[in-house]
């Protein structure tokens, strides 16, 4: 008599859940994938502005180095088991063409995130995964420390193994409302406080925000009590509420984690030391006595609309500018204080930091160390990578490993 197939319930049809369901089904398990919303892969669809930065190119060790040390340690086995090349190979073998940007980010060519999701859906269908949309799971069925299934409206979905991959809690309209954390907490897991990461930063600014204006390739810094707590080089975009853009997203996690009275400033001349700047300003005043000192900014490509905000006191002719004003102007250029942090909105982050404590999940299998037959993967774990395809890769890799382990004898 043929042995009964192992039944696996996967909760959450994002990057992690799709890979988990496909991998488990391809190992001959009977798999049902429960997705709360009307479609699979909602976050993949909005990723990379709809273009989907699928993953990051390069050796796995370099990819891991982009994460915090404890996160990299946890991710290492999964990322070697299911690499960046594997996800690309899965997609390109079904017709997607991809290109690698000079900064290592991999995107589809002549295609969008929609095509990525369509291909992944094809894998699920070919492996006979039963996909149930509009099916919000409501909790885990636990008996004597063992998970037996998942409660759903009108009943229970029983499974020999349960994989939870319901994501984080940013962009709640996309379906991710942090449901899984309460469930696994009941199973004995610790949830590291959840905060915004890769999010815009709302500021109280001493001037009207020049919304829509961007400064390119500068150093954005956050300070608390004068001490620097974060810095990144990149583009900063002013918004109606504060700032966004790559450099902002990348310091948002530290800003949200540290909290309290935080000031944000921009080094508008990152390649110039204060001494060099000072001597450049002295030369400028000597060479252009009739020009406004503020016009010095023309050399450093600062948008015109910012000059009146930055240039308090430096509007007069350079010849008449005294040393104090010149020094003040120099310190503004090296550390232009643009405001105090009022909020780092969790709902607007590309990911959240915090989630299921990593030491309570086996990194080789994604098996919970708190409940038998329970597997956890994707963003609901305490992992948050930077911008660049790292977060999808973490979800793909941990999902793949969860599916493989759950289906293995
Ligand atoms: C605007 C934006 C842009 C991004 N761009 C990129 C990018 O270009 N590259 C990159 O690497 N990362 C990007 N990310 C991050 C990346 O999308 C996530 O890290 C990744 O999708 C997480 O995958 P996941 O499967 O763990 O969770 P999700 O993709 O969030 O999937 C979780 C799924 O679970 C479902 N769910 C939730 N609760 C329940 C329930 N109770 N029952 C059933 N189903 C449930 C949700 O509806 C959702 O479909 C971006 C994120 C955002 C918000």
Average pLDDT rounded to a whole number, residues 297-316: 77
Instruction: Show the tokens assigned to 398.
Output: 């941990």
Spatial separation of the C-alpha atoms in residues 389 and 267, rounded to whole Å: 27
Instruction: Please tell me the distance between residue 285's alpha carbon and the centre of ligand 1 in angstroms.
Output: 54
Spatial separation of the C-alpha atoms in residues 210 and 407, rounded to whole Å: 54
The atom of ligand 1 lying closest to the CA of 171 is 53
The atom of ligand 1 lying closest to the CA of 34 is 43
Q: Does the Cβ of 169 fall within 6 Å of ligand 1? A: no
Q: For the residues of 370-382, what is the DSSP string, one character each?
A: SSBTEEE-GGGBS
Q: Residues 393-409: pLDDT tens digits?
A: 999 999 999 999 999 98
The atom of ligand 1 lying closest to the CA of 56 is 11
Longest dimension (CA), the chain: 97
pTM assigned to the model: 0.94
How is residue 352 annotated by DSSP? E
- 2 pLDDT band, cuts 50/70/90, is low
Instruction: Look at the chain and count its residues.
Output: 409
Chain centre distance of CA 136 = 24
Alpha carbon of 246 to those of 17, 51, 237, 387: distances in Å?
Answer: 27, 16, 8, 8
Q: Does the Cβ of 386 fall within 6 Å of ligand 1? A: no
Pair 139, 183: CB distance under 8 Å: yes
Q: Residues 46-77: pLDDT tens digits?
A: 999 999 999 999 999 999 999 999 999 999 99
Instruction: Show the tokens assigned to 175.
Output: 């379906």
Can you give the C-alpha Rg of the chain in angstroms? Answer: 25
| pLDDT at 22 exceeding the cut of 90 | yes
Q: Cβ neighbours of residue 298 under 8 Å, at least 6 residues apart?
A: none
The atom of ligand 1 lying closest to the CA of 17 is 25
3-state secondary structure 46-111: HHHHHCCCCEECCCHHHHHHCCCHHHHHHHHHHHHHCCHHHHHHHHHCCCCEEEECCCCEEEEECC
Q: Does the Cβ of 353 fall within 6 Å of ligand 1? A: no
Instruction: Please tell me the distance between residue 236's alpha carbon and the centre of ligand 1 in angstroms.
Output: 25
Q: Does the Cβ of 222 fall within 6 Å of ligand 1? A: no
Pair 346, 384: CB distance under 8 Å: no
Query: pLDDT above 90 covers what percent of the chain?
Result: 85
Cβ atoms within 10 A of the Cβ of 48, count? 21
Supply the pLDDT for residue 59. Answer: 98
């Amino acid at each position: 008599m043929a042995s009964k197939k192992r039944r696996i319930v996967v909760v959450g049809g994002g990057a992690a859940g799709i890979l988990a369901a496909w991998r488990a089904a391809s190992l001959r398990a009977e798999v049902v994938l429960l997705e709360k919303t009307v479609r699979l892969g909602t976050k993949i669809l909005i990723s990379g502005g709809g273009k989907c930065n699928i993953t990051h190119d390069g050796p796995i060790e370099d990819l891991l180095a982009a994460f915090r040390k404890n996160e990299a340690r946890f991710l290492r086995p999964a990322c070697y088991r299911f690499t960046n090349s594997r996800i690309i190979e899965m997609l390109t073998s079904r017709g997607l063409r991809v290109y690698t940007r000079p900064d290592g980010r991999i995107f589809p060519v002549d295609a969008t995130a929609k095509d990525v999701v369509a291909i992944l859906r094809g894998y699920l269908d070919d492996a006979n995964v039963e996909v149930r949309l509009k099916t919000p799971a409501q909790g885990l069925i636990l008996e004597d420390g063992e998970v037996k299934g998942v409660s759903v409206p009108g009943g229970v979905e029983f499974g020999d193994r349960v994989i939870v991959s319901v994501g984080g809690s940013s962009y709640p309209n996309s379906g991710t409302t942090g449901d899984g954390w309460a469930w696994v907490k009941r199973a004995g897991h610790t949830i590291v406080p959840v905060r915004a990461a890769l999010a815009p930063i709302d500021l109280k600014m001493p001037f009207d925000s020049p919304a829509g204006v961007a400064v390119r390739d500068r150093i954005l810094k956050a300070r608390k009590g004068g001490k620097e707590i974060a810095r990144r080089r990149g583009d900063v975009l002013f918004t109606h509420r504060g700032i966004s853009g790559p450099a902002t997203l990348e310091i948002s996690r530290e800003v949200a984690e540290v909290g309290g009275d935080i000031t944000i400033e921009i080094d508008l001349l990152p390649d110039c030391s204060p001494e060099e700047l000072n001597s450049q300003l002295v030369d400028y005043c000597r060479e252009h006595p009739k020009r406004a000192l503020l016009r010095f900014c023309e050399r450093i490509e600062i948008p015109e609309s910012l000059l009146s905000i930055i240039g308090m006191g430096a509007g007069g002719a350079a010849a008449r500018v005294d040393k104090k004003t010149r020094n003040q102007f120099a310190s503004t250029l090296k550390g232009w204080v643009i405001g105090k942090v009022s909020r780092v909105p969790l709902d607007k982050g590309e990911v959240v930091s915090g989630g299921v404590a990593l030491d309570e999940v086996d990194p080789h299998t994604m098996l919970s160390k708190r409940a038998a037959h329970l597997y956890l993967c994707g963003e609901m774990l305490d992992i948050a990578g930077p911008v660049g395809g790292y977060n999808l890769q973490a979800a793909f890799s941990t999902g793949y490993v969860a599916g493989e382990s759950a289906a293995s004898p």
